[in-house]
Amino acid sequence: MAEKGRKAKVRICGMCGGRMSPYWVRAQILRCESCSLLSRSRIPTAEELRELYSAGWKRPGENRSLTGGTDRRLADRFVQCLVESLGLESLKGLRILEFGAGTGAMMKALEAAGAEVYGVDPFGYSLLKQEGLNAFRDLSDLPAGMCFDGIFSIDVVEHLSEPWSIVQKLKDLLSLHGWIYVSTPNAAGISARLARSNWRELKKRGHIVFFRPDSLEFLLRKCGFAAYRRLCWRIDYGKGRLRGLPDSLLRALKLDGELRYLAFPSATES
């Protein structure tokens, strides 16, 4: 439900061209009336974002909302869930790209599962190289003509001012029978619905746009993915068994805090 407040200046949605209107007013969040994309009313400039991330990467372990919150334990679990979701026994022989590789935990987990792994992260690049990983600063730095069997993008799209442009580039890097895994905080989850302008994800300065299931699915269709499915993985974040029970219920109701999608360029691959 939108919060009441003074009328904000109308802005056009960059993803679909629809009208953006006030939604969570105190947090200055707008919502597209057509595709449901949520966005900050003021988008940070490229220079502001560079300053923010450069400062965060000076102490990557202390700024995980900017440098990536996936540790090796979680990364191994993500890989296990992915293998099961794809109906595979392992990732052996697959070439996989992680876009937004952070501190490298997921790249290492993918390598341990047998994949040939590449990573792109403009700010984590130096750390990834020090770890001996195949890292690049930008998608344009990848070897010419390289394509991938799979692409991982964990909690990255919300950091991008125009994620539709980046996801389109990622789609173009996939092989005909490839797939992409995309995850992002769920702006239609129970936490967001209850907290609204106080939702914890809004307090993370690097978060620019916010997705609900319908807006993320619109993004995937816009970028040329012919098929996709929402994943409801059971991920143990160390809350303990009893505290994990509400999470299981929220996943069943699709009100959990994370959107996870597996998308395919070809409809026959889903």
Give this prediction's pTM: 0.91
Amino acid making up residue 117: V
Confidence class for position 239, pLDDT limits 50, 70, 90: low
Does residue 99 have a pLDDT over 70?
Answer: yes
CATH topology of domain 46-269: Rossmann fold (3.40.50)
Element (H, E) at 96: strand 95-99
State the residue for tokens 């307090």. 203
Does residue 81 have a pLDDT over 50?
Answer: yes
Check residue 7 and give its pLDDT.
53
Average pLDDT of the residues of the chain = 91
Q: CA-to-CA distance for 150 and 147, rounded, in angstroms? A: 9
> Partners of 40 in the beta sheet?
29
For 189-197, what is the mean pLDDT? 95
Q: In what order do the strands lie in the sheet with 38-40?
A: 11-12, 19-24, 29-32, 38-40, 209-210
> Domain extents for the chain?
46-269
Residue 155's contacts (CB-CB under 8 Å, 6 or more residues apart) are 68, 69, 70, 100, 183, 184, 185
DSSP tag of 163: H
Check residue 245 and give its pLDDT.
56
Residue 11 near residue 26 (C-beta atoms within 8 A): no
Closest to 124 measured CA to CA, from 44, 209, 58: 58
Q: Which parts of 106-226 are beta strand (E)? A: 116-120, 135-136, 148-154, 174-185, 209-210
Element (H, E) at 264: strand 258-264
Does residue 242 have a pLDDT over 50?
Answer: no
Check residue 3 and give its pLDDT.
55
Residues in the chain: 270
